[in-house]
Amino acid sequence: MDSTTLAELLLVSLYDLAEEQPHGYFFFQLDEIGTRLGATDMGQMIKAVQILETRGFAMLSVGPWSALSAMISSDGISFVENGGETGLIKAYRSNPREIIDIVSREVQAPSESVQNFSQEVMPEKAQDLSLNEMIHTNLSRIDFVLFNDPSIETSAREDAIKDLESLKIQLSRNSRNWRLIEMLLDALAEIPSLLPGLKELALVLKKLE
């Protein structure tokens, strides 16, 4: 499968993933998209997603807890909804299993390449990968509850979204302001439905102090 065709497949997958979320502004890890599509050759995946970035169809991010993530743009959404250019999107919509079977044969890499992908992109983060993954998972859960709990008042939700974004920024830094992190956690804890996720996150953060 050539890079342009694979790029369209990645884009339609990003489109579908975004549709499943409470709002469209989500970055999705490239290796997770690969798993969804049956692809393990991260070299091909990176080339394809860079095509999307160049064309303005997606934004890329190297975050503290993921090797490489992508988010579909408004132009990318329009491109998918208009059917793309290669015919891949139409074929995928008609028979996704057939397309995934093709990817499973043609976009593959040796297992050691998959295992080393995160280290190759962000070697300095390798030693903290497991803890960082736990932080990322807990933040995602808190984010999901925050956007989906109907009992949260609009003003409280807006304030909490800002606090959560500030928390993510602090946790992404090499030098963390633990006093500020504690204050942000306390502020978020005022929303009862966030407490389970916050408690789990706090347990992980204690290992980093």
Tell whether the model's pLDDT for residue 152 goes beyond 80: yes
131 burial type by CB count under 10 A (0-12 exposed, 13-18 middle, 19+ buried): middle
Q: Is-contact 134 204, C-beta < 8 A?
A: yes
- Rounded Cα–Cα distance for residues 109 and 88 (Å): 22
DSSP 69: E
CATH fold for the domain made of 3-120: Arc Repressor Mutant, subunit A (1.10.10)
Q: Distance from CA of residue 25 to its chain's centroid? A: 10
Report the range out of 17-26, 39-48, 184-193 with the highest average pLDDT: 184-193
Over residues 68-93, mean pLDDT: 91
Q: Is-contact 117 39, C-beta < 8 A?
A: no
Q: What is the pLDDT of residues 171-206, one digit of tens each?
A: 887 788 888 888 899 999 999 989 888 988 888 888
Q: Model confidence at 13, in pLDDT bands (50, 70, 90)?
A: very high
The alpha helices in the chain, defined as continuous H runs, are 3-19, 30-37, 42-54, 74-81, 88-94, 96-106, 111-115, 117-121, 129-148, 154-172, 178-188, 195-206
Could you tell me which residue, 55 or 135, shows the higher pLDDT?
55
Q: Model confidence at 25, in pLDDT bands (50, 70, 90)?
A: low
pTM: 0.53
